[in-house]
């Protein structure tokens, strides 16, 4: 078998340019598949993390008829005594934080401009607000017993030219079916790097939100974060909330689950396309080699080389090309993925706007896994080796006498 390997190496070296181009094709395919797999995984992971931290939590408690998008202030659609329930939930060891939230629809007015917004009443000291505290870009977070301040998102501040210390008017829907208008001071400006969310969401202390909307001692839902997502089922079973619904992040994020499934399906067809192009290149390369070496095959056959040995020769060449191409592809793809996993890439640089969706932030950070590297490498190796089977079979079918009379 050693002579088959030596002959294969010699044949590949004999036409360095063609061998190099074939290996490069495999390398590009491998690197591209690795990068795309990590990017889609990172995009879905980022979307889920953002949605959990901004909107749903790992778990959420609400009434049976409450819908987040409706922002109902009817008593029957809300949770009574939410602070007491949150306190009980935080006694569960796996729970990082639990906090009531009150969703109110309203309008912000500043100077001569108005914009419809969601006003979110939050419990300022709660650890569930860490993302907003860390995202403060101007001004300051709520102080103790602050009842007249609000936080606004950076896109909204830029759109209306609002700065910390400015006063804005909020026209807010109430539980009694009318509206109330009050003036608030902008304490600070935050960003979550999710423009659609930041432009449409204003935060105020829960107690003030309850007062102005006339929903004292009520909240829209209780938002729960865990130390470890894997504990979701156990915590859900441990929560005692008679009369209310407890939903986990999977139930609350069906849209993202569907999008991820569609993305995986698209990735599957993309993989097929890339591997198909790669296999075509390899097959053409080896078929050309068979055509150019017809006379050589005849000589080898006349010297006693059997058909299965001829087939093994071409399959070995395909395998060597595959190994070389995959290694080069990994050498290119792995550092590229690891680099962008740290710095991300800004959607605006690709002409994509994040303003159209709550799910995606400004940037995507690829999420590499060892499993992706292994599966992509194995797929590239198998496809390349299978692509070499037909040319190898054609070479094995050559009759020595006919091959010797060939001009090639």
pLDDT in tens, 308-365: 777 777 778 788 888 888 899 999 999 999 998 888 776 554 444 444 444 556 678 8
- What's the pLDDT score for residue 295? 61
pLDDT of residue 159 exceeding 80, the answer is yes
Q: What pLDDT score was predicted for residue 297?
A: 61
Beta-carbon contacts of 253 under 8 Å, excluding residues fewer than 6 positions away, are: 48, 51, 52, 56
pLDDT (0 to 100) of residue 349? 47
Kindly report, residue by residue over 83-115, the tens digit of the pLDDT: 999 999 999 999 999 999 999 999 999 988 999
Place 119 in a pLDDT band, splitting at 50, 70 and 90: very high
Phi, psi (degrees; rounded to nearest 5) at 250:
-70, -45
**pLDDT confidence of 294, banded at 50, 70, 90?**
low
Tokens describing residue 182? 């009050």
Residue pair 383/275 in contact (Cβ under 8 Å)? The answer is yes
pLDDT at 356: 43
- 403 pLDDT more than 50: no
Residue 265 has pLDDT above 80, yes or no: no
8 Å CB contact between 56 and 251: no
Q: Where are the beta strands (DSSP E) in 351-391?
A: 363-364
CA torsion angle 355 361 365 370 (round to 10): -110
Amino acid 350: pLDDT:
44
Q: What's the pLDDT score for residue 345?
A: 73
pLDDT in tens, 180-235: 999 999 999 999 888 888 999 999 999 999 999 999 999 999 999 999 989 999 99
């Amino acid at each position: 078998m050693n002579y088959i390997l030596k002959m294969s190496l010699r044949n590949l070296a004999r036409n360095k340019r063609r061998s190099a181009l074939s290996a490069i094709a495999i390398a590009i395919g491998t690197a591209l598949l690795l990068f795309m797999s990590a990017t889609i995984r990172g995009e879905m992971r980022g979307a889920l993390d953002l949605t959990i931290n901004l909107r749903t939590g790992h778990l959420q408690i609400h009434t049976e008829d409450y819908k987040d998008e409706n922002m109902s202030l009817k008593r029957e659609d809300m949770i009574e005594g939410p602070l007491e329930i949150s306190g009980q939930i935080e006694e569960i060891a796996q729970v990082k934080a639990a906090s009531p939230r009150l969703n109110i629809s309203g309008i912000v007015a500043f100077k001569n401009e108005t914009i419809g917004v969601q006003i979110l009443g939050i419990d300022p000291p709660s650890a569930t607000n860490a993302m907003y505290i860390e995202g403060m870009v101007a001004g300051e977070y709520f102080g103790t017993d602050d009842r007249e301040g609000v936080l606004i998102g950076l896109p909204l501040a830029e759109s209306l030219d609002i700065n910390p210390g400015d006063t804005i008017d909020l026209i807010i829907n109430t539980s009694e079916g009318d509206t109330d208008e009050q003036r608030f001071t902008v304490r600070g400006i935050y960003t979550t790097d999710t423009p659609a969310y930041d432009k449409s969401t204003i935060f105020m202390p829960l107690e003030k939100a309850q007062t102005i909307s006339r929903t004292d001692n009520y909240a829209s839902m209780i938002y729960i974060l865990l130390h470890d997502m894997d504990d979701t089922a156990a915590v859900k079973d441990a929560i005692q909330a008679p009369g209310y619904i407890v939903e986990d992040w999977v139930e609350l994020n069906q849209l993202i689950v569907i999008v991820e499934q569609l993305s995986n399906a698209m990735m599957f067809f993309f993989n097929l396309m890339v591997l198909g192009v790669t296999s075509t290149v390899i097959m053409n390369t080896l078929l050309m080699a068979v055509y150019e070496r017809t006379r050589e095959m005849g000589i080898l056959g006349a010297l006693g080389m059997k058909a299965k040995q001829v087939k093994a020769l071409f399959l070995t060449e395909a395998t060597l090309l595959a190994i070389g191409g995959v290694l080069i592809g990994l050498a290119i793809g792995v550092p590229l993925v690891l680099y962008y996993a740290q710095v991300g890439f800004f959607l605006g640089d690709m002409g994509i706007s994040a303003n159209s969706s709550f799910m995606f932030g400004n940037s995507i950070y690829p999420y590499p896994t060892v499993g992706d590297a292994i599966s992509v490498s194995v797929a590239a190796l198998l496809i390349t080796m299978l692509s070499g089977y037909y040319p190898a079979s054609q070479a094995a079918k050559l009759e020595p006498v006919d091959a010797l009379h060939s001009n090639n």
